[in-house]
């Protein structure tokens, strides 16, 4: 695994959610009260883009059918056995980097 720069902290203020692409991988990046998190960017339900959804606290809401995932664990809100992958995030100066396979 290796860390990839995806955006800057200035582009992702607290409470923000964004979508980034690394290679062919779609990732949703969240800033929850200053804590950064990254999850797989595609909803397992119908493939909606999670990074284009909404962030309510630590819950990422899919814009297609409102499925919700905890961005800290990747777990679905009503069925924890449904998960999206989570990825480690670190800062390098103002750059946000995500650890991807």
In the three-class reduction of DSSP (H, G, I as helix; E, B as strand; rest coil), residue 91 is classed as strand
Which residue, chain included where needed, has tokens 């800033």?
31
What is this structure's pTM?
0.95
Please give the CATH superfamily to which domain 16-92 belongs.
Answer: Rieske [2Fe-2S] iron-sulphur domain (2.102.10.10)
> How many Å apart are CA 21 and CA 77, to the nearest integer?
25
Give the domain ranges of the chain: 16-92
Spell out the per-residue pLDDT of the chain, length 101, in tens.
799 999 999 999 999 999 999 989 999 999 999 999 999 999 999 999 999 999 999 999 999 999 999 999 999 999 999 999 999 999 999 999 999 98
71 CB-contact burial (10 Å; exposed 0-12 / middle 13-18 / buried 19+): buried
């Amino acid at each position: 695994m290796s860390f990839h720069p995806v955006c800057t902290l200035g582009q992702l203020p607290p409470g923000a959610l964004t979508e980034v692409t690394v290679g062919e991988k779609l990732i949703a990046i969240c800033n929850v009260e200053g804590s950064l998190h990254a999850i797989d960017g595609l909803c397992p339900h119908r493939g909606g883009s999670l990074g284009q959804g909404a962030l309510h606290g630590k819950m990422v809401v899919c814009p297609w059918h409102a499925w919700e995932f905890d961005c800290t664990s990747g777990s679905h809100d009503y069925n924890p056995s449904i998960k999206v992958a989570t990825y480690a995030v670190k800062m390098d100066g103002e750059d946000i980097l995500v650890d991807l396979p």
